[in-house]
Amino acid sequence: MARTRSSTCWCDRRRPCWFFRSTSWRNFRSEEQAMQRSLVVKPCPAWLALYTALGLLASPLCGAAEGPQYQIERCCEVCPQTMLDSTYSGDLREFSKLVQGRGDWLFRTKNDLMTQMGTTAEGYSRLEKLRDALKKKGVELVMAYLPPRGLMNAEMLSRESQQAFDTELSKKNYLQTIQRLRSLGIRAPDMSLLLSQKADAKQALYFKRDPHWTSYGAELAAQVLAEELRKSDVFKTIPSKEFISKKDKSDLKNGSLNQAFGKVCGNSYANEYFSRFVTEPKAESADLFSDAEAPEVVLAGTSFSSPEYNFAGFLKQHAKVDVDNRSVDGGGFHSAMLQYLGSQDFQKNPPKILIWEVSSYYDMAMPLFYRQIMPMLADGCRASPASLSQKVALRPGMNEVLVNTGDKPIRGEDYLVDIQFSDPTIKNLHSLFWYMSGSVDDLNITRAPEVESDGRFVFNLREDAEWSGRTLLSLEIEMPADMPAGLEVEAKICPRAHGAKAELQAQAD
C-alpha cells in the first residue's frame, strides 16, 4: 500500500486518511495487531476526504507536497496528569505515580520502584511473637516475601527511571529484609534469585501493565519456594505426592495499571495475552487423595496467589505436596491470615507449614493486624471464661452493649474482646471503648468484600504504653441505618493467656 510520509504526515493514496484511537483496540485479534495501530492520526480535512471518496479529486492530492498534511502521535505516552499528586486519590491512591517503561511497560514509582522495605523494629518484634505463637501450635511459619516489581524488571524501565531508581540499594535492602526474617526464625526464600531470568516478550516474569507476575513468573517463584521448603525438618515429615501442571486456556489481561492509565490519561493500551494453567494429581497419586486428610501445607497470600496465576498449583508440583490455598484477592497482606487463623479449620486442624505470601510494598508493622491476629490464635473467649458478657438486640445508631458495673480491674494490657453478630455477613465493626479515666478508644474494623465473613470480631483491648493501667468502663457499638432487621450481638471480654493472674486477682477483689 503506497503512502506518502514525512515527519508530520502519513496518508494512504488509495483511500481517505484514517484516524485510530486506543478505544478501538479491543477489535483487534492480538496485541501485535493493536500495537500496529498504536498511533493517533489527525485526518485530512473533511471536505478533502469527502471529495476523494466521491471521486471528484484524485486521491494522490492527499499526499502531494502542496496538499494538506496531518500529524501522527503515539496514543499512549503518559500525560502530564500522571505527575500530579492530586491525581492519585480514591481508587487511584495505590497507583502513584505512573511512569512509562520500555516496550510499553507501565510502573508505579511508589510501589514498583521501592528502595526501602521491610518493617520497623516494633514490626519485627510483633512478627517474632506471631512466629512463636504459631510454633506453640506446631506450625512453622514460612514467608514468601516478594521483591519490588521494578527491581525484578529493571531492564524494562525507561532511561529516566533507571537513573532515578537505585536498583543496587533496592536489592541490598530486600536481601537485608530476608536475612532479618530468617534471624527471627522465619523461613524466607530469596526471591531475588529470579533476577537471573530476563523478561522478554514471550516469557516475562510480570505483566507489562499489571502489578502481578505472569504464570511463568509464578512457576519460577514456586520453584524457589519449594527449594527452601525442602530445607525444613518439619516439611520432611509431610508425605510426598506427585502433581502435574498443564495449560488450561489463553486469557486476556486488562491490567490494573492499564486501567488506571486510562482513567488518568483517557487512553489505554491493548489487553495482554497469557496462558492459564491448572494442576492436578498424577494418575499414580490420585488414589492417595480419596480418603486423604486436610493438606498439611497452607498458603495464605494476596492476589499473587490467585488461581489466575496458579502459584499454589506450581508449588504443589515442585514441592511435591498438597497445598490448601486460603489466599484472598484484594485483601492486602493481612486478610488471608485473619480469615484463616480465625477459622475453626485452623483451630481444629492446624497445618504443619503456613506459607504467608507478602509483597514488599506492604508495611508489616500494621498494629491493628496484630491486635486481631494474636487473640485469634488463642480462639478468643472460647478458650477462657468471660469476665463480662452480654447479648443484646441492636438498633440503628449507638448501642450500649457492656458495662463494667462491678468495677472490675479490666485493663487493656491483660484482656481481649470477642464479638459475635447473629448475622454472619456483617463485615464492619464500629465500636467505642470508654475507660474510667474518661478516655475513649474509637475502633473501626473493616473487612475486604472478598473475605468470607462469619460475623465474628476478636481483638485485644488497647495496650499501648499511654493506655497502660486504665480500667474499662463500657463498650458501645454503632450500627448503620440500613442494618439487618432483628440483628443481635453477643459481646465478651476475657483475660488473655498471660492475663490469667490479673483475672484471679480481680475475682479475689
Dist CA 414 CA 434 (whole Å): 16
Dist CA 411 CA 493 (whole Å): 11
| Helix 367-377 and helix 121-136, axial crossing angle in degrees, nearest 10 | 10
Catalytic residue, from 215, 268, 303, 384: name it.
Answer: 303
- Which three cell numbers, joined as nine digits, stand for 36? 500496529
Cell 499489571: give the residue.
210
Asked about 210 being catalytic, the answer comes back as yes
Q: Which residues pair with 392 in a beta bridge?
A: 489
Dist CA 160 CA 249 (whole Å): 37
Q: Which residues pair with 446 in a beta bridge?
A: 428
Concatenating the DSSP letter of every residue in 11-28 gives EETTS------GGGGGGS
Q: Is 157 within 8 Å of 101 (Cβ atoms)? A: yes
Note the Cα 262 to chain centre separation in Å: 21
Cell 475513649: give the residue.
440
State the alpha helices, DSSP H only, in 138-236. 149-152, 159-164, 167-183, 215-229
CA nearest 312: which of 271, 273, 353, 345?
A: 353
Catalytic residue, from 212, 327, 414, 418: name it.
Answer: 212
Burial of 121 (0-12, 13-18, 19+ CB in 10 A): exposed
Catalytic residue, from 104, 112, 210, 322: name it.
Answer: 210
CA of 365: how far to CAs of 61, 286, 354, 360, 389, in Å? 68, 42, 19, 12, 31
- Which three cell numbers, joined as nine digits, stand for 111? 510501589
Asked about 268 being catalytic, the answer comes back as no
Dist CA 85 CA 348 (whole Å): 48
Amino acid letter for position 33: Q
Concatenating the DSSP letter of every residue in 226-286 gives HHHHTT-TTGGGSPP--EEEEEEEEEEE--HHHHHHHHHHS---PPEEEEEEEEEE-HHHH
CA torsion, points 143, 455, 479, 431, in degrees to nearest 10? -50
Q: What DSSP designation does 148 have?
A: P
Asked about 303 being catalytic, the answer comes back as yes
Number of H helices and number of E strands within the chain?
Answer: 14, 20
CA torsion, points 235, 236, 238, 241, in degrees to nearest 10? 110
Catalytic residue set: 210, 212, 303
